[in-house]
Amino acid sequence: MTLPKRLLLAGTALAAAGLAAAPAAAQSKPEPIQIGLIAPVSGIYARPGTVMRMGAEMGVEDVNKAGGIACLGNAPLELAVVDSGDSVEKATNAAQRMVADYPKLVGATGAYLSSFTLAVSEVTERANLPLLTLSYSDLITGRGFKNIFQTSATSGAQAEIALPIILDLAEKQTGKRPQTVAVITDNTAASLSSVKRMKDGLLADVGLKLVSEEVFTPPLTDATSLVQQIRRGRPDLLFFLPTVISDSKLILEKMQEFRLRVPTVSFGIAIAEPEVLNTVDPKLLEGVMSAVANWGAKGQEELIQRLKDRYGEPWMTQNAISTYGDMWVFKAALEKSCSRDRAALGKALRSLDGGEAKFYPGGTIAFDEAGHRKGASLTIIQWQNGVPVTVFPEALALSQAKWPTP
């Protein structure tokens, strides 16, 4: 046999062997396990939704690098991103679309604003789809749903944890405990839940007198009337609960304009998003504190650096770290359920004992009957030198808290 004929024969044999082996190889590669991310990636909340996607993508990648779901033949996770839009109605439609378009979804995370999560979870509950959420509102886990799992402390719980810490800090560093407080809040579900808990006895318990309370519908077009109330009330402290960055700018600038120097404590992330620096002078932000459900913290430096390198984010907000952690929670629950069935995953999440929480502040990776993460705490951040850094809890703090001196 001549050399060309031998080569041709060998090639044909190799090709035949390859064709025969192909189905076997395809069979041995497990089908990915779909996890949904329902978050706003269009409209006015597109930016935080995009950051949620960054965290989820990194989480999926790291879980897959670690071998995927061992119990299911090392099946990798696959992220299905669904745009919840920027209104409750759009979020409801998106949830219905998610359930219909992705029948193989086993679980999901979302949906940024509590108002959206409340709407989305109405759909996922009926579809028996487990939904992890960072949203704070107490209502989310207060409806007796079986498929909702709240990784954050609820708004009410956050207020309970945060207020004594804030007042102790003021007393320790200034020698004087604040006596009066003004509240400016938007009327989204999470903000109202926090304020409700404050008014339902928490303020009295910590010795604060409410001198004014203003509720507004976001986004504001002008903050004069709100800040005028602070000027009238002359409080020792301002609690400020916005969910839209533009509202943060309007209030802080109006306070500067009215020459009001009131220590400001926010609840939520709208005052600490990177985009705030596009709109507000960093000097106005210096010292402002915010109680948030989660934040990049001590021990996560490598992860934070990777986020910065890959996506150009200046710091890791709660939206990225939480969806990152959610992927690890899904991995733990899938290893436990060892099934692609939604109901089995829900059951596994309800009885999960994943040990100490690595990507959420405080508590463990275990959920109570209502879906609260057991022992969930919060993070307090503070703008220091143009960056919001974690100052509480001390074990996770990247810097020491400094009481904002007027």
List residues binding other proteins (CB under 8 A): 41-44, 46-47, 50, 86, 187, 214-217, 219, 221-222, 224-226, 228, 232, 245-246, 249-250, 252-254, 256-259, 274-275, 278-281, 284
Smallest separation (angstroms) from other proteins to the CB of 183: 12
Nearer to other proteins, 50 or 154 (CB): 50
Nearer to other proteins, 85 or 107 (CB): 85
Smallest separation (angstroms) from other proteins to the CB of 316: 16
Q: Which are the contacts of 352, defined by CB distance < 8 A and separation ≥ 6?
A: 329, 332, 333, 336, 365, 366, 367
Smallest separation (angstroms) from other proteins to the CB of 258: 5
Question: Which of 335, 333, 310, 330 shows the shortest CA–CA distance to 320?
Answer: 310
**148 token code pair:** 């909702």
State the sign of the Cα–Cα–Cα–Cα dihedral 83, 84, 87, 92: positive
Question: What is the C-alpha to C-alpha distance for residues 343 and 337, in angstroms, rounded to an integer?
Answer: 9
Nearer to other proteins, 55 or 68 (CB): 55
Q: What is the DSSP string of 288-352?
A: -EEEES----TT-HHHHHHHHHHH--SS--HHHHHHHHHHHHHHHHHHHH-SS-HHHHHHHHHT-
**139 token code pair:** 């209502």
Smallest separation (angstroms) from other proteins to the CB of 200: 19
**DSSP-derived secondary structure letter, 200:** I
Smallest separation (angstroms) from other proteins to the CB of 229: 9
Question: What is the C-alpha to C-alpha distance for residues 216 and 165, in angstroms, rounded to an integer?
Answer: 27
Nearer to other proteins, 44 or 81 (CB): 44
Distances (CA, A) of 69 to 9, 81, 219, 356: 42, 20, 43, 20
Smallest separation (angstroms) from other proteins to the CB of 247: 9
Question: Which of 116, 154, 120, 152 shows the shortest CA–CA distance to 138?
Answer: 154
Nearer to other proteins, 232 or 298 (CB): 232
Smallest separation (angstroms) from other proteins to the CB of 141: 26
Nearer to other proteins, 145 or 311 (CB): 311
- Cα torsion 67, 71, 75, 77 to 10°: value is -80
Nearer to other proteins, 44 or 165 (CB): 44
Question: Which of 349, 323, 355 shows the shortest CA–CA distance to 336?
Answer: 349
Nearer to other proteins, 153 or 227 (CB): 227
Smallest separation (angstroms) from other proteins to the CB of 386: 14
- Residue 42 and residue 83 in contact, taking contact as beta carbons nearer than 8 Å: yes
Smallest separation (angstroms) from other proteins to the CB of 259: 8
Nearer to other proteins, 172 or 283 (CB): 283
Q: Which are the contacts of 168, defined by CB distance < 8 A and separation ≥ 6?
A: none
